[in-house]
Structure 1
Amino acid sequence: MRILAVDDDPVFLMLLEHVLTAIGYKDLRTVESGAEAMTLLRDPRQKFDCLLLDIDMPGMTGIELCRRVRALQDYHDTPVVMITAMKSLDFVEPAFRAGANDYVHKPIDELEMRTRLRMVGDLIEERRRRASVESRFSTDHGLPVINVRFDEPVALSEAGSVIDYLALENYALTLGRLRLYGHSVLGFKVTNAESIFCSTDGIGYIDTMANVASVIDGALKSCNHLIAHAGRGEFVAMISQRTDLDVDLLQDEIDLAMDRYAHLHEALGIPLPDVTVGRILHTGFFTRTSVSSLFKEARQSVRDVAMVR
């Protein structure tokens, strides 16, 4: 794994290099500003597998740098881990909105960094495997292709509040139990997602799920929220307040918005997505519900609603 680390503190970069070397990551390049990083990233002779970005830098912040990185075709889905010494979590959500995949605190803990980079490595290997399959198919048939599994939480980027599922889990983990108590979680399900998946190719399926994400994003516009596609046509939304939205009204708004795509889907021969809204969930103040369990509960909730709808 070739890593680029960006931080305006040269002493921290030396310490980071020491930690990374100790856990087996020796191919590291460091720079001290966002401008230097962008120069490297635009150089076709350079290629990095993972970016470690300090959030609080003078001039171009790490969040702005992350946003610019995501605009580069070669780094659209490269894993980005944000690093910061700031204690406030006010900037965490903007970092994930900008495209970050994960987040760690200074001072760097060796075990935490090892765990984060192991997850990054797994993500890189999965994306390399998919790219290899897509490349072979494209070479054999001369057609663009995206290799997608139905149960895979494929990344969608068309809507402003949509982030990767892993990133949403990582964001929720940064909140801690107290802050998580102040959030609401809501599941959505495209009940005919498997029919859509079978009726089109990977590009068509991702485009359709992206349209659904945009509709959900619009329906939740009155709330500060983040959305992720969890696979199998299911979505999880985190709302940054304890809310009791009228789920029936939300369902009606989504149905109405999806109807606007009816003519397009008819022309393409792809079933129009049938989206179901689940129940709004909250964590208890004294409970120790894990983030993964909370998200699973949200997905199960919408499955239950879909069965009786």
Structure 2
Amino acid sequence: MTPARPDLDPELRTLLAGMPPISELNPELLAQLRQLPSTPIETLLDGRAVERREVTVAGPDGADIPLSIFRPAGLDQGAAAPCVYWIHGGGMIMGDRFSQLDIPLEWLDLFGAVVVSVDYRLAPEVTGTTLVDDCYHGLLWVTEHADELGIDPARVVVAGASAGGGLAAGVTLMARDRGTAAIAAQVLICPMLDHRDRTTSSRQYSGGPGVWTREMNRFGWRSVLGDLADGEVPGYVSPALVEDLSGLPTTYLDAGTAEVFRDEDVEYASRIWAAGGQAELHVWAGGCHGFDALYPQARISAAARRTRNDWLARVLDPVAGSAVPVQPFAGRDRTAA
């Protein structure tokens, strides 16, 4: 029997009524979903004064990792702009570097940020740490080319939504443990953090159609992890497994009350606080998974985006063009999770 669930926001309930009723995923349906067109990048850039550049960097295994770079038009090469390194969502099984891109492009508009979006390889074609390794090596390229890109290396923000939020958390942990790229902040939007499927919110959103159900989540994790036993799952892939969350940069997390990831996201924020770190957590009453990306016109979505933007404005001072008192970490040597 499915436990009682928090109610959806009434406006979202009306909007969701037009969504196709999907409750589970399988390889055939995944193939169909991957064929659906996403919002053309030209539409997202229309009316924005943006310079776009495409680069390809080599991954650790020699594979190509595409990056899309969006700079405010006229930004000097020697400028010191903030940078948002964006990791898209899609359950680690679908999506591309243009997915949910309207979110970081809003930060380009508001803060003059350079936005870099990474196209990591997807499961089940690749598995294990390959996805997070792709994202990490893309970030290394960005920080190594900060001068060329006009980026202030002290104001690099790693951000992502859903699976991208989980990968952003994994990349940040990698950078901390390996003592490499300095990261000023991480923004984890309804992040996919824990493969163990053990929370109340996971049980609540099992059965029936939804944006991202327990059954879909299990399919996504199986696609990434295959037959790995719990003790073999890397913490960089499932960040909730990492015991030590100290030394992380200031963190923003948000989720909805009406979604699978609610409880694992709340727990992750709580564990950052317990380790002495700084995290701001917002759990939006009636929000379904990915509500502000799916329905940005809804009032709850506008409130969520405004709150997130206000937080980022406190981390990156767009008026003075310098960081407010934030201690970007450059990492330290640790045993990898």
| Higher CA-based Rg | 1
Q: Which has the higher contact order (CA 8 A, sep 6+)?
A: 2
TM-score, normalised to structure 1, is 0.27
TM-score, normalised to structure 2, is 0.25
